[in-house]
Amino acid sequence: MDVWDTGDDISALASILADPTRAKVCVTLMDGCAWTPGELAHQIDVSPQAMSSCLAHLEDAGAITRIRQGRHHYVRLSGEHMARIVESLGAAAGPRRAHPVGYRQVRADRRLQAA
């Protein structure tokens, strides 16, 4: 495996997950269930058209798979490897703060951690 090819693959996947809507879709699909595009659009609060575009990008990248059952189709993460990637990125991102952190807040947090 060429390290440059791997770097390109990582970059391509990261750019797909860099979009907040696509990231929310992947996080929502972490429950292991198959969702319809309409359910996902409602859950994430985006238009059906935006969801369709989002799912097309995720499918092209191999992040999700579509499952057809009769006239309905469902989507789910493409596998356990994608769930691990999303989970790892979520852990690396850490908790989100409501506002920017100032110096005083950082010092207070460190004092609490040391206690």
Cα separation, 58 vs 81, whole angstroms:
14
Query: How many structural domains comprise the chain?
Result: 1
Q: What is the CATH number of the domain that holds 46?
A: 1.10.10.10
The whole-model pTM stands at 0.74
Give the pLDDT score at 28.
95
Structure tokens at 52: 């369709």
The 3 state secondary structure assigned to 73-111 is EEEEECCHHHHHHHHHHHHHHCCCCCCCCCHHHHHHHHH
User: How far does the chain reach from its first CA to its final CA, in angstroms?
Assistant: 47
The whole-number average pLDDT for the span 10-22 is 89
Residue 31 carries which DSSP code?
G
Q: Which domain holds residue 89?
A: 3-114
The whole-number average pLDDT for the span 30-36 is 93
| Residues 40-53 pLDDT 10s | 999 999 999 999 99
